[in-house]
């Protein structure tokens, strides 16, 4: 491969790469605002000016192609002087509102002002004032005087979202961003502009003024909005999720995620309708009970029915481990009546990221064994069996199936025994005889399988009363010795919830079956050892970016 010299280091590059691209591939960061790896080159900000030997003028690294033998200096006297001058220029009209700006703590202008600026301005005139708190769309707010005109948001709408909605108007120090006449910034990916904005000009209206970045923890997990399984970070303060941001994974979602996944998949975790402990129906109403009482009651009641009178409904929202244990439990009872509801919405799908399968783990549920055994009943058969009185007991996990099909409420009311694992009280739990509190996706370890057959990790971001829920491999009971910060985190729990696999494991023990596991990783190790498409995988192999299984992708659409 051809090479060039960057600050004394010999760097390999591919033909056609720019200096900043080649440097970035080698983990070397050249200061920049307007350049983004997935957007076209604009060359607006000029912060990436570098000195190239044998060239008479400084060049911008974002648009200058690397060439064999080139010698580049990013920290020479000329380059530093130019960078300081550009930073002084960018800060001339920038307001001094860092104390009230949501971007504070993750603002590139702040970082570069500290690292690459002279620390003072010669500009003594009145700053140019622009419109503040401009509602560009339903989710995005614009503060014009903070904007540095990098054009990232404009290029994102044009090139990634494929929906041109933003443009520059006016010139010079009056330049600003507006939507086209009669338009709003309301494409399905609009909030990505708040992620790529290098300053605090574009902010998320849902998150605005809720927390400082240094007050939150960022926890890596997977979006539950559809079968894409975008890699995300959950930002948590005081044991509450305050925002979701995308996490780069070039094999899944690149740098992006849709607004639906960002806004609609986390608020149920801290909702007031959370199931706050096991419940048993007594005299017509669900009343709170202890775990021992609820588990013993469930085991006692299930023993009353024959294998053909019991059915199970898994969930495309539950983790692979949860569905696998449910399938094992059904098999141990001898029931072949097991299935799950598949949810699709063809209007939701696009050719960027969103999929018509609007659940995160339908492929994983099927592979885990949530499908009828030989001679068993599928979902329609189970429903008909309940209507006919042949199915008398039903165990359903992590799916509010009545919300989508209200007519099933009348069907479920015919059951003698209806057990539900749910994180929130919903239209299905209304008909349940026993309700177990299931941990939400943000509260448990586990795996899900996206439409590509890629296995990805769920990791806990929010604590529960469950004492063996781990944080980086350490149980809450062991965290005490690490000081008050962890003590406070442990005491921040609110819900007495457990992963569905753990509930099923405890119930199976009371019924005489050996489905005993201590942690989610042990369940997955058995999955990878018994289901061939997962052979060779474990939590370490899956890692933070996931690992491809031997499953074939389902109706593959290229990630934008």
Whether residues 399 and 428 share a domain: the answer is yes
> Can you list the residues of the chain whose pLDDT is less than 50?
467-492, 556-560
Whether residues 310 and 391 share a domain: the answer is yes
User: Pairing relation of β-strands 446-449 and 49-52?
Assistant: unpaired
Whole-model pTM: value is: 0.91
pLDDT for 480 equals 42
pLDDT for 122 equals 85
The count of domains in the chain is 3
User: Pairing relation of β-strands 134-135 and 140-142?
Assistant: antiparallel
pLDDT for 35 equals 96
Domain coverage including residue 467: 279-548
Whether residues 260 and 315 share a domain: the answer is no
Whether residues 308 and 366 share a domain: the answer is yes
Rounded distance, CA 102 to CA 117, Å?
Answer: 22
Residue 385: inside a domain: yes
Residue 115: inside a domain: no
Q: Which two tokens stand for residue 29?
A: 């960061």
Rg of the chain in Å (alpha carbons): 27
Q: Say how many C-beta atoms besides its own lie within 10 A of residue 553's C-beta.
A: 13
pLDDT for 481 equals 39
CATH assignment at residue 57? 3.10.20.740
pLDDT for 514 equals 86
Residue 558: inside a domain: no
pLDDT for 404 equals 93
Whether residues 102 and 80 share a domain: the answer is no
pLDDT for 370 equals 97
CATH assignment at residue 257? 3.30.70.20
Distances 416 to 173, 305, 392, 410, 412 between C-alpha atoms, Å: 73, 10, 5, 13, 9
CATH assignment at residue 455? 3.40.50.740
Q: Which two tokens stand for residue 462?
A: 């929010």
């Amino acid at each position: 491969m051809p090479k060039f010299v960057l600050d004394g280091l010999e760097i390999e590059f591919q033909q056609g790469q720019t200096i900043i691209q080649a440097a970035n591939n080698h983990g070397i960061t050249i200061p920049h605002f307007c350049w983004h790896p997935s957007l076209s080159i604009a060359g607006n900000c000029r912060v990436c000016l570098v000195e190239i030997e044998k060239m008479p003028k400084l060049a911008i690294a974002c648009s200058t192609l690397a060439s064999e033998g080139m010698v580049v200096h990013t920290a020479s006297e000329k380059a530093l002087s130019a960078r300081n001058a550009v930073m002084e220029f960018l800060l001339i009209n920038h307001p001094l509102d860092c104390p009230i700006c949501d971007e504070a703590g993750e603002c590139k202008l702040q970082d570069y002002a500290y690292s690459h600026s002279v620390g003072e301005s010669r500009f003594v005139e009145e700053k140019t004032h622009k419109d503040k708190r401009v509602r560009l769309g339903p989710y995005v707010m614009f503060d014009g005087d903070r904007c540095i005109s990098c054009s990232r948001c404009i290029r994102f709408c044009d090139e990634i979202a494929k929906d041109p909605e933003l443009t520059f108007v006016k010139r010079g120090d009056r330049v600003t961003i507006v939507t086209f006449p009669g338009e709003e910034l309301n494409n399905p990916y609009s909030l990505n502009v708040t992620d790529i904005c290098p300053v605090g000009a574009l902010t998320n209206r849902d998150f605005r003024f809720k927390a400082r970045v240094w007050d939150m923890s960022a926890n890596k997990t997977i979006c539950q909005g559809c079968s894409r399984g975008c890699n995300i970070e959950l930002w948590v303060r005081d044991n509450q999720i305050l925002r979701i941001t995308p996490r780069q994974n070039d094999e899944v979602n690149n740098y992006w995620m849709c607004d639906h996944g960002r806004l609609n998949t986390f608020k149920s975790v801290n909702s007031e309708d959370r199931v706050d402990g096991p419940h048993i129906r007594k005299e017509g109403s669900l009343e709170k009970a202890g775990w021992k009482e609820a588990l013993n009651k469930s085991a006692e009641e299930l023993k009353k029915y024959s294998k053909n009178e019991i059915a199970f409904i898994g969930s495309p929202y539950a983790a692979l481990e949860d569905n696998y244990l449910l399938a094992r439990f059904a098999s141990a009872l001898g029931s072949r009546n097991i299935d799950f509801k598949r949810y699709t919405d063809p209007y939701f799908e696009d050719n960027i990221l969103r999929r018509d399968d609007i659940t995160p783990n339908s492929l994983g549920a099927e592979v885990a064994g949530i499908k009828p055994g030989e001679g068993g009943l599928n979902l329609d058969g189970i429903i008909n069996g309940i209507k006919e009185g042949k199915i008398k007991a039903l165990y359903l996990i992590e799916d509010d199936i009545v919300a989508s099909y209200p007519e099933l409420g009348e069907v479920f009311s015919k059951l003698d025994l209806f057990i539900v694992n749910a994180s929130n009280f919903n239209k299905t739990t209304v008909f349940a005889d026993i309700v177990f509190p299931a941990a939400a996706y943000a509260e448990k370890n586990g795996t899900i399988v996206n439409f590509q057959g890629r296995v990805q990790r769920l990791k806990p971001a929010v604590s529960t009363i469950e004492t063996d829920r781990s944080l980086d491999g350490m149980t809450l009971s062991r965290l005490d010795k690490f000081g008050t910060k962890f003590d406070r985190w442990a005491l921040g729990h609110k819900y007495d919830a457990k992963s569905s696999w753990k509930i099923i494991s405890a119930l199976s023990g009371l019924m005489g079956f050996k489905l005993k596991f201590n942690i989610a990783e042990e369940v997955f190790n058995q999955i990878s050892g018994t289901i061939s498409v997962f052979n060779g995988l474990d939590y370490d192999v899956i890692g933070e970016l996931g690992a491809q299984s031997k499953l074939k992708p389902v109706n593959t659409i290229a990630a934008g």
